[in-house]
Structure 1
């Protein structure tokens, strides 16, 4: 075989053993050859993975980090585990967190398990087969839960948030009571002021621009320009969808005004560029990175829970809420559609319009019941 056909990545130059592999004993020579082949052989599966797969695994690893951040909150463990802590307990807990907190679809959870496991092994972490099997066993009842099947997790339209719910969320008590029953946290926990300002701005601005979680995550400070009438917001292009420029007016009520909320958050965080929404840790320290789409969703859900809302809101609830509230208020559908970025004739958008109009002048309204 010609030497030109040999892949140097898989068959690197062999190191000498005692000066020369050929002159060494057979056991030493074999060990040298095997050692030289071992590292590139272990690296090879990562090298030949498609770029899209590698990017997906990197995203799964970032979500894993968000789970560990959530676990480290004072009302839970109060301790941040290393990213490499891919053990049976943490990976099973990750599955539960994805289901109950992030509200991910079962197919997404399964993909996250694969991505985290693959990325951990690439980083040299020994993740046992028993650990991944335990995580997949934890996923089985989630797949078969009839309540989830009826709810169509991962499908259909989100529950639309309302202005009244937004008011409750933005004025919620920052004090998180100590959990009842078995607990690790010994006292009440108050959400830091900077985190409250961020959550308020994110909640209201995502509603005002009818933003998907990925769009809200992608917002930049430079793309949110204030003027006398409110804000001009450049909503970024995500997943091949076109970006859009929208106008956000001042709200009538201070507690639900997206413009005032954004300006307060920007001033408190000292933002002069970069990501519009960033992580804030349990001590109120501002991160430098971008809050991920899952992080944006969790902010909405957590804020709704802290406000005591019976309805469970998710990141998409803000998008649905603006459309529904706008149609109920008599706004022209084409103006609302321009704000949300739906295409003309979109069946999803028309579904929101039908839902909003179904409650207008219902047959049972004002008939003496």
Structure 2
């Protein structure tokens, strides 16, 4: 055997040996991968938890987020027409989210508060579908939204903020005529008369709503058993809605009979008994135009309509009176009367870092030690 042949055999032997050494020493060589049972259980629990959290989300929120996702799809259809290239719905980046804000502002002409809600809804729905939503994308979208929220012409696109109501407004509502004249443009004009039973219900509802800073949903869920008459006035257990914790709040006697929440509540209870309704059920019941008492609780929308109708009858026009008007009104009025901020916050069930609550506080204290007061004008 020649030297060249010997060298070739040696080289081939080294290659074989090296290959065998590499194969034999490779991690997991010749083994079948075994799934990690711990990881599998954790993944299953994560999936179940996300599904459960979606199921217990309030229907109104679910419907709103579903609509937000539809708008996200509409944005992608529009974007395809502009660029000629379809993007997957999972493409959530700084670029697509900022473009989404611009689309809602300039194409849809949505008000800033609606755009802000769309961002939240799309983020939630995307994550529920397993898509990644980078933090920098949501932060960039909110930075793009910030100057829009300061533009008065854009904020006017929406319905605007609810106006606060004060005890003086409640007195006007309570003293408003029970007969409401028809609109001049009505095709079938007729006088609408508020039945006495409805009048007593409205006074109790409106005064108590302001006293506890109640949301429409909370007032709808109130039962007679939640409202306890005590020597000092009322102890009200406001039930939980939308995952918020329940709260127990005090309500004291008022100065005026027509707006005192304690006396209005007791008068309404007596009226319910006289109308043949037993106590212990829903706190507020519907009353038809003939003065007949219903048996099912007044819905959240019905609660809001009561306040809006009474405000209209009292001539409180030019102001947007909604379900939040009472909540805003308790804080702004309370601050002006020197009430403690922490007690006002607990009364209405706001979180400690609620931006809405602190906005109400600032509104109520606007003229407290005003910069122009006492400076020599």
Partner of 1:319: 327
Change (3 A) 1:152 1:268: farther
- The number of equivalent residue pairs is 235
Residue 282 of structure 1: SS of its match in structure 2? coil
Change (3 A) 1:335 1:282: same
1:158 Cα shift? Answer: 2.6
Provide the C-alpha distance between the structure 1 equivalents of 2:272 and 2:187, rounded to a whole number of angstroms: 32
Alignment of 1:1-369 (within 5 A): 150-151=155-156, 153=158, 157-185=161-189, 187-270=190-273, 271-310=278-317, 311-363=319-371
Whether the 8 Å contact between 1:304 and 1:312 is mirrored in structure 2 is: no
Whether the 8 Å contact between 2:197 and 2:271 is mirrored in structure 1 is: yes
Change (3 A) 1:353 1:291: same
Partner of 1:72: none
Residue 315 of structure 1: SS of its match in structure 2? coil
Provide the C-alpha distance between the structure 1 equivalents of 2:356 and 2:320, rounded to a whole number of angstroms: 21
Change (3 A) 1:182 1:330: closer
1:153 Cα shift? Answer: 3.8
Provide the C-alpha distance between the structure 2 equivalents of 1:251 and 1:152, rounded to a whole number of angstroms: 39
Whether the 8 Å contact between 2:200 and 2:264 is mirrored in structure 1 is: yes
Partner of 2:96: none
Whether the 8 Å contact between 2:57 and 2:242 is mirrored in structure 1 is: no
Whether the 8 Å contact between 2:58 and 2:242 is mirrored in structure 1 is: no
1:350 Cα shift? Answer: 1.2
Provide the C-alpha distance between the structure 1 equivalents of 2:349 and 2:311, rounded to a whole number of angstroms: 25
Provide the C-alpha distance between the structure 2 equivalents of 1:153 and 1:269, rounded to a whole number of angstroms: 40
Partner of 1:122: none
What TM-score, normalized to structure 2?
Answer: 0.57
Whether the 8 Å contact between 1:161 and 1:317 is mirrored in structure 2 is: yes
* Deviation string, structure 1 residues 172-212 (Cα, Å, up to 9, x no partner): 11110132134213x32211111111111111000000111
1:367 Cα shift? Answer: 7.9
Provide the C-alpha distance between the structure 2 equivalents of 1:314 and 1:171, rounded to a whole number of angstroms: 20
Change (3 A) 1:241 1:151: farther
Provide the C-alpha distance between the structure 2 equivalents of 1:165 and 1:366, rounded to a whole number of angstroms: 30
1:152 Cα shift? Answer: 6.0
Change (3 A) 1:351 1:368: same
Whether the 8 Å contact between 2:162 and 2:320 is mirrored in structure 1 is: no
* Deviation string, structure 1 residues 50-102 (Cα, Å, up to 9, x no partner): 9789966xx9xxxxxxxxxxxxxxxxxxxxxxxxxxxxxxxxxxxxxxxxxxx
What TM-score, normalized to structure 1?
Answer: 0.58
Partner of 1:68: none
Change (3 A) 1:52 1:183: farther
Provide the C-alpha distance between the structure 2 equivalents of 1:53 and 1:163, rounded to a whole number of angstroms: 35
Residue 252 of structure 1: SS of its match in structure 2? coil
Residue 254 of structure 1: SS of its match in structure 2? coil
RMSD after superposition: 3.1
* Deviation string, structure 1 residues 206-258 (Cα, Å, up to 9, x no partner): 00001111111111100100011100000000000000000100001212201
Provide the C-alpha distance between the structure 1 equivalents of 2:185 and 2:343, rounded to a whole number of angstroms: 50
Provide the C-alpha distance between the structure 2 equivalents of 1:298 and 1:147, rounded to a whole number of angstroms: 28
Provide the C-alpha distance between the structure 2 equivalents of 1:350 and 1:261, rounded to a whole number of angstroms: 30
Residue 275 of structure 1: SS of its match in structure 2? coil
